[in-house]
């Protein structure tokens, strides 16, 4: 899975903002504000990856228990899916 083409993450005034570009603007009105962990996961999803790969990357980057990281990753991915931002 990976982020669909047409969405870009940018830092604006210290905030991680995802905005649609090009044709994606027609189907997605607005922007998404991500915390640092969300931006980290978004960056990993810029190329094809799995939930297990995301988990390994998160555990290597952050001091977080595996069960909490797994739960948070699943929730993040579900939100992306629900908003049509993932290509699988």
For 20-36, what is each residue's pLDDT tens digit? 887 767 677 778 899 99
Across the chain, what does the average pLDDT equal? Answer: 92
Which pLDDT score is estimated for 38? 96
Share of the chain above pLDDT 70, in %: 95
Rounded to two decimals, what is the model's pTM? 0.89
Confirm or reject CATH 1.10.3470 for domain 2-87, answering yes or no.
Answer: no
Domain range annotation of the chain? 2-87
Cα–Cα distance, 8 to 85 (Å, whole number): 11
Which pLDDT score is estimated for 23? 73
Reply yes or no on whether the pLDDT at 83 is more than 90.
Answer: no
């Amino acid at each position: 899975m990976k982020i669909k083409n047409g969405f870009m993450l940018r830092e604006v005034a210290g905030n991680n903002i995802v905005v649609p570009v090009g044709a994606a603007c027609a189907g997605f009105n607005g922007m998404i504000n991500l915390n640092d962990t969300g931006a980290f996961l978004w960056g990993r999803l810029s190329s094809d990856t799995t939930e297990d790969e995301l988990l390994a990357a998160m555990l290597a980057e952050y001091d977080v228990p595996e069960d909490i990281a797994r739960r948070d990753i699943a929730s993040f991915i579900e939100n992306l899916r629900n908003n049509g931002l993932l290509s699988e």
